[in-house]
Amino acid sequence: MRSKIVAGNWKMNKNAEETEALLSELAAKLPDTNAEVMVAPTFVNLAGAVRSLESSVVKVIAQNMHFAENGAYTGEISADMLLNIGVDTVILGHSERRAYFNETDEILAKKVAAALDKNMRVMFCFGEELEDRKSENHFNVVESQLKNALFSLDASSWSKIILAYEPVWAIGTGETASPEQAQEMHAFIRKTITEAYDTSVANDVSILYGGSVKPANAKEIFGKPDVDGGLIGGASLKADDFVAIIEAI
C-alpha cells in the first residue's frame, strides 16, 4: 500500500541557526499523523539537521545529488556522501534544477539509476510548463518526462520511487492547480504507469502534488483519491503553515 507523504523543500533558504530553529519548532509542534513527514534543507545544513531530528519521526532528505560515485566534479555531492550522514532519500528532477542547471531527462535517468544503485529512495519531480498546459500538450510532456527518466527501471525498483507532480506554472506563483486538475493528472500518471508496468506498480507508488500548496488549499487537494500528499516549497518555511498542511492530510 502506498504511503501518504508531506515533504518540505526548503530550496536555498535558511542558514544554520535558522535551520536549527525551524527544525526544533517543527519537532515540537508536529501533529500525530500516519503520513511520512520529510524536510529537505540545504546541503550545508543536512548533517546538522539529521542530528537535530535524531529522535523525531521527521526525515531529512536531500534536494539533489550527482550521478557519479566520486571524482572531479567540483561543487557536487554523491549518493555515498548523503548515505554517510544518514540521508537515504533524494529529490531529483525538480523544475528549478531542470531550468537553471540544465538537467535533462538523460542526466536525470543517470541520477535516478545512481541513487537506486545505492538503495536510496528517489522523490522524482516532473511537470509541464504553462505553454504546455495552454497548448493542451501537458499530458504528453508529463508522459515523456516519466518515460525518459523512469520507464526503463525494473518493476521492483519502483518501491523506491516517490513521484512529485509539480506543474511549473504553479510553483511559487500563488497559482495552484485546482484539486480537479491535480486529480486528473495524477490519475493519468497512474494509468500511464499501469500501461508501462502493471496496476500493482501503479497503485503502490505515492504521487505527491507540488505547487503553491498552502494551509488554505491543502485539504481539498489532498482529498483527491490519486493525490498522496504534497511537496511543499514556500509554506514549508514556516512551522505553523507546514504543520497545518500536515494536519490536512
Ligand X SMILES: O=C[C@H](O)COP(=O)(O)O
Binding of residue 226 to ligand X (CB under 6 A): no
Site for ligand X in 92-111 (CB under 6 A): 94
Q: Which of 210, 217, 245, 249 touches ligand X (CB under 6 A)?
A: 210
Q: Which of 49, 232, 243, 245 touches ligand X (CB under 6 A)?
A: 232
Binding of residue 234 to ligand X (CB under 6 A): yes
Scanning 75-83, 177-185, 187-195, 208-216 for contacts with ligand X by CB under 6 A, the matching segment is 208-216
Q: Which of 233, 239, 246, 248 touches ligand X (CB under 6 A)?
A: 233
Number of continuous H segments (helices) and E segments (strands) in the chain = 11, 8
> Is 48 flagged in the annotation as binding?
no
Q: Residue 66 carries which side chain, given as an amino acid letter? A: H
Pair 45, 75: CB distance under 8 Å: no
C-alpha cell at 206: 505515492
State the binding string over 143-182 for ligand X (x if CB under 6 A, else -): -----------------------x----xx----------
Identify which of residues 8 and 78 has a Cβ nearer to ligand X in the complex: 8
What is the C-alpha to C-alpha distance for residues 214 and 218, in angstroms, rounded to an integer? Answer: 6
Least distance to ligand X, CB of residue 94, Å: 6
Place of cell 515540537: 28
Least distance to ligand X, CB of residue 11, Å: 7
Pair 168, 147: CB distance under 8 Å: no
Which residue numbers are catalytic? 94, 166
Q: Which of 183, 206, 212, 217 touches ligand X (CB under 6 A)?
A: 212
For residue 179, give every residue at least 6 positions away whose Cβ sits within 8 Å of its Cβ, in sequence order, or none: 217, 220, 221, 223, 224, 227
Least distance to ligand X, CB of residue 205, Å: 18
Number of residues lying near ligand X (CB under 6 A): 14
| Strand residues in the chain grouped as ranges (E) | 5-9, 36-40, 59-60, 89-92, 121-126, 161-165, 206-210, 229-232
What is the C-alpha to C-alpha distance for residues 160 and 129, in angstroms, rounded to an integer? Answer: 27
SS3 88: coil
Annotated binding-site ranges: 9-11, 172, 212, 233-234
- Binding-site residues for substrate, in ranges, read 9-11, 172, 212, 233-234
